[in-house]
Structure 1
């Protein structure tokens, strides 16, 4: 585990941004002085051609074992590099984080995609959630939340969307600061409600075409699972339980009411959403009417 943690970010680093504006009317000899030739030496190393393959294998390993991995049993020297490396690839701004691995010609697997899967499985264990939230700096956790909310908006990637819902549900339950961070990402509430409304709409279509019994026996015909709907509602609930977050729900009262009153939506999901309404609008005269 120590070796795997170190391999996650092996020979991966970000250069400091150069804020000096270059003048392009200089002589070529002057421009040569501005070139950092040592930055390209790594491409000439014998291990360079194997680096992406090693990284891919390590990330695949973590994606496969994460659900059985409880990092609390390991010392900090082992668990910190693992969490640091996984979070880094989740928020890394470089193209190699989001582009498919060079070794595969047809697969869409990228470092970020594998990390989302690994973190989602890792956070099944409550102790791992605590360790993840404690991985410094917290600003990077906020960036992670931003990436997860961005994935919610990408309807063309349902797998990434569900990984995001799973991970966000665990994070908001882990600490109120995470719930606040999610709420601060402006479209988060709307995107979660979109997810629930889309499932409700598909459920209504299935019930109208095939009957309610077909939907009851095959809930996946909604395009997602009941577990995902409950997790999405749970995210909204834990966001609403933070007093500072209630203002972000002010424009979504009617949408929440419509979902709560839905005749087709899972009753457990509707109950969670009614709790959201209670926390956000209990002092609002409109909710009493």
Structure 2
């Protein structure tokens, strides 16, 4: 990795607790990317007004410990999303002992390697690859890399999975993005009006969304259909566009669950929400031998 960073103007590596972090300090923006989990924890354009500050929520109680995903930013959930035992049968077929498998897969607790660096006066692009895609409970031969592109006005992440085996593989995944807000009760997600969703808190019941998504209690839903959303908080509106995804998870733990979460203050639910760009539930991806799939998100602000 040192060779890739030699002579770079805007990218350096530094420790963040027990973890290695790539620090991007560009005249137009700054960002922080943990090598563990390929987890972006900060993106801050260097402009004032309503656009100032980290576009991602990061817990005040975040712990930078080896083998533990940091609470906030964009954790990478791969090669299965959520509780392995609640995944479609086609995904569970590749997980030995789904009932005991770690939630959200194993990629978020593994070290990734810096594979490529590009920087110029307008942008920085970093590509990370997961060099060890094996796990005792994962019975498939997939590989994965993540590309992060930063500019003065946008952030994009592309997660590309390839089937290096000889038979088809089905997997699920998500870019588990945490967003900040000053008031969760004055926050809404627009773009899913009329969309089908699964209410996971009520027996995974299929329902239809009417109007914008509001936060009035614990929220954990899988939505299907839209690829362009507006995330509206008292401070600003963030536009989220995705490709390679027909599902999104909207999440907030609310009062009681917040008390049980690690790296999470009891009142932190008031200041955050998640909209996760995903291939979840019946949006899981099947790759034939030799095929690749890219899941991507782009964030801009208006």
**Pairwise TM-score range, normalised by the shorter structure:** under 0.3
Give the number of the structure whose residues are more often strand, by fraction: 2
**Normalization by structure 1: what TM-score?**
0.23
- Larger Rg computed on CA atoms: 1
Give the number of the structure whose residues are more often helix, by fraction: 1
Q: Which has the higher contact order (CA 8 A, sep 6+)?
A: 2
**Normalization by structure 2: what TM-score?**
0.23
